[in-house]
Amino acid sequence: MLPALVFVAIVAAFGGVAYLFRVRARQARVRAVGALARRVGFTFSDTDVDHIVDMPFALFSKGDGRRVELVISGVHDGVPMRIFDYWYYDESGGRGGRSRTYHPFTCALATIPAACPRLRLGHEDFLTRLGDHLGLGDVELEYDDFNRRFRVKCDDQKFAFSLLDGKMMQWLLGADHFNSVEVDGPWVLLVEPKLDPARWLDLGSWLDQFYRQIPPVVYSTYPPR
């Protein structure tokens, strides 16, 4: 009986220490993001007051549960944007109980003066290439380098070709450190693996450059509604 109690106490102690570390790490991140927001003149909220998580992006429909948190909002290099943490989890059940696998990201969301059809730019991997051979292809553009590296999902071929012109493709090949980019309506969502707050403004700069690469024909063909 006694060894069992000692075992339970040790497990509880480890659990408590791990929880404490998690709480302190989160508090440190909240402080760092808050300080960043104050430094650059953005507003800060540690919860998703604007319900960003309900927006119709593919990333926000993944997993069994999800949350947006630590949101900063403001104008960076003339482009209004929000930068925030996002995670979702997958649940898997077994006889020993359910376990969760978390997928954390840092995202930046900006608006552009256009009403764009839905487009998702991700990376090609073994499975997506296999899908291409089975006829589950993406939009194929005229640059093989670009096609090999990126997977473009868009129901509107005209929009994909309007947005991804030669200049934009060239720029994306050189600025490829993102997880995915989604465009829908006036919104552009840039997704990266979870970043240290010191690097959050890099996302803002990326979005600012992306905005400058958008071909004028996008604005004339897909004007804001």
Partner 1 sequence: MTAIVVVAAIAFVVMAVTFAVYNRLVHLRNLTRESWRDIDAELQRRYDLIPNLVSTVKGYAAHERETFDAVTAQRADAMAMPREPDEQATREQALGRSVAQLMAVAERYPELRASEQFLVLQRELADTEDRIQVARRIYNANVRAYDTLVQTFPALVVARAFGFTVRPYFELDPIVRDAGPPPVDLSGRM
Q: Residue 170 Cβ, how far from partner 1 at the closest point, in Å?
A: 14
Sign of CA dihedral 17, 19, 25, 28: negative
Where in 135-194 is the site for partner 1 (CB under 8 A)?
140-142, 157-158, 161-162, 165, 186
> Whole-angstrom Cα distance, residue 28 to residue 116?
38
- Determine which residue in the list 53, 66, 111, 170 makes contact with partner 1, applying CB under 8 A: 111
Sign of CA dihedral 189, 193, 197, 199: negative
> Whole-angstrom Cα distance, residue 132 to residue 191?
24
The window from 63-71, 125-133, 175-183, 214-222 that contacts partner 1 (CB under 8 A) reads 214-222
First-residue to last-residue Cα distance in the chain: 71
Where in 5-64 is the site for partner 1 (CB under 8 A)?
none
Strands 43-45, 97-123: pairing kind: unpaired
Q: Residue 90 Cβ, how far from partner 1 at the closest point, in Å?
A: 31
Q: Residue 162 Cβ, how far from partner 1 at the closest point, in Å?
A: 5
The window from 9-17, 23-31, 72-80, 88-96 that contacts partner 1 (CB under 8 A) reads 72-80
Q: Residue 160 Cβ, how far from partner 1 at the closest point, in Å?
A: 9
> Whole-angstrom Cα distance, residue 175 to residue 165?
15
CA distances to 136, 180, 181 from 131, rounded to whole Å, are: 5, 18, 20
| Residues near partner 1, by CB under 8 A | 73, 75, 78-82, 110-113, 140-142, 157-158, 161-162, 165, 186, 211-212, 214-217, 219-221
